[in-house]
């Protein structure tokens, strides 16, 4: 399945990470407690023909089309495909960590409820409350939005479509936190979501947001736990099979940093995000993701 991303942190990888959240992010503890139809990490976005057409799912139609044949091909559920694809998509991005992957999810019992996906226009208190209703803490929420480091916006402001959220859109690093924390600095080709800027400054979330600036290992540790939790929303992990042993290794960014590096990217803060040497980066991609590339690159052992 990793071949979908062709070894690159490109649009398919970005979409697969977003798809995993849009599938799982409709889970609600309140609905569960009241035995009402619920969302969750169940792949309903692949199986229901109308769900992917909702406004909040704009831009996901292509990745849904690519993934729809795979449950039958691999003999697993739609939910398994969505969430294994999300894990592999993170690994397609240099610096992206290994997240535990599971299979054995049951098929979706119903279409995901409307109106539960968080919006970038919601105030911080509303977003914190919505994530709490998923069972996700405020700190884990802030870790999850770090996936914006490889994201692009296309529909929030269509005049600036394809703008990225930081200046290293093809690398899974903490530069998103660094650059978003400077709301008055506009970097060419980038776009700041109102909710992200608010997270960086609101007293209830700024501590967690700033904790991740330049702290790749701390963020990765928190992100792994948060993404795993998200991928299991509405599921009983005891019913699932851990298939993490199939995952490729993460591409470590530390050995790829330039010897002399400035990484503030326009920020007035001290350098926290080393620049990555493009030659070393390409060599690492060929070494660790060569089989995913098109055409594949096989490096003799």
Is 83 annotated as contributing to ligand binding?
Answer: no
Say if 296 falls within a structural domain. Answer: no
Q: Dump pLDDT digits (tens) for 225-249.
A: 999 999 999 999 999 999 999 999 9
How many other C-beta atoms are found inside a 10 Å radius of the C-beta of residue 125?
A: 12
Is 166 annotated as contributing to ligand binding?
Answer: yes
Exactly one of 22, 105, 130, 227 is catalytic; name it: 22
Say if 269 falls within a structural domain. Answer: no
Is 170 annotated as contributing to ligand binding?
Answer: no
Look at residue 199 and tell me whether its pLDDT is greater than 50. Answer: yes
Average pLDDT over residues 49-54: 96
CB 143 within 8 A of CB 279: no
Q: Dump pLDDT digits (tens) for 13-24.
A: 999 999 999 999
Say if 252 falls within a structural domain. Answer: no
The values of phi and psi at residue 300, to 5°, are -60, 140
- Model pTM score: 0.94
Say if 52 falls within a structural domain. Answer: yes
Q: Which domain holds residue 105?
A: 2-246
Is 23 annotated as contributing to ligand binding?
Answer: yes
Is 239 annotated as contributing to ligand binding?
Answer: no
How many separate domains does the chain show? 1
Q: Dump pLDDT digits (tens) for 128-168.
A: 999 999 999 999 999 999 999 999 999 999 999 999 999 99
Q: Using the 8-state DSSP alphabet, how is residue 296 labeled?
A: -
**What pLDDT, on the 0 to 100 scale, is given for residue 93?**
98
Look at residue 261 and tell me whether its pLDDT is greater than 50. Answer: no
CB 182 within 8 A of CB 267: yes
Say if 116 falls within a structural domain. Answer: yes
**What pLDDT, on the 0 to 100 scale, is given for residue 267?**
47
Residue 150's domain is classified under what CATH number? 1.10.520.10
CB 101 within 8 A of CB 28: no
Q: At what angle do helices 11-24 and 78-92 cross, to 10 degrees?
A: 140
Say if 272 falls within a structural domain. Answer: no
227 classed as catalytic: no
């Amino acid at each position: 399945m990793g071949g979908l991303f062709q070894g690159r942190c490109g649009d398919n990888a970005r979409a697969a990470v977003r798809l995993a959240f849009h599938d799982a992010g409709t889970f609600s503890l309140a609905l569960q407690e009241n035995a009402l139809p619920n969302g969750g990490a169940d792949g309903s976005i692949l199986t229901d023909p109308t769900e992917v057409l909702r406004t909040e799912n704009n831009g996901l139609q292509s990745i849904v089309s690519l993934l729809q044949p795979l449950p039958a091909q691999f003999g697993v559920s739609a939910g398994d495909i969505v969430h294994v694809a999300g894990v592999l998509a993170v690994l397609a991005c240099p610096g992206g960590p290994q997240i535990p992957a599971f299979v054995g999810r049951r098929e979706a019992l119903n279409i995901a409820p409307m109106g539960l996906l968080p919006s970038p226009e919601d105030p911080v208190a509303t977003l914190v409350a919505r994530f709490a209703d998923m069972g996700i803490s405020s700190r884990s929420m802030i870790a999850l939005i770090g996936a914006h480091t490889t994201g692009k916006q296309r529909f929030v402001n269509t005049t600036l479509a394809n703008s990225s959220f930081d200046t290293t859109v093809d690398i899974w690093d903490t530069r998103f936190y660094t650059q978003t924390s400077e709301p008055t600095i506009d970097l060419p080709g980038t776009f700041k979501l109102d909710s992200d800027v608010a997270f960086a400054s609101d007293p209830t979330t700024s501590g967690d947001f700033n904790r991740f600036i330049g702290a790749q290992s701390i963020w990765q540790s928190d992100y792994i736990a948060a993404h795993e939790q998200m991928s299991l929303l509405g599921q009983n992990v005891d019913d699932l099979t851990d298939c993490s042993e199939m995952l490729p290794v993460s591409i470590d960014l530390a050995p790829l940093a330039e010897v002399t590096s400035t990484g503030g990217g326009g920020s007035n803060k001290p350098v926290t995000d080393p620049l990555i040497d493009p030659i070393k980066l390409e060599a690492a991609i060929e070494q660790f993701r060569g089989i995913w590339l098109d055409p594949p690159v096989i490096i003799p052992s």
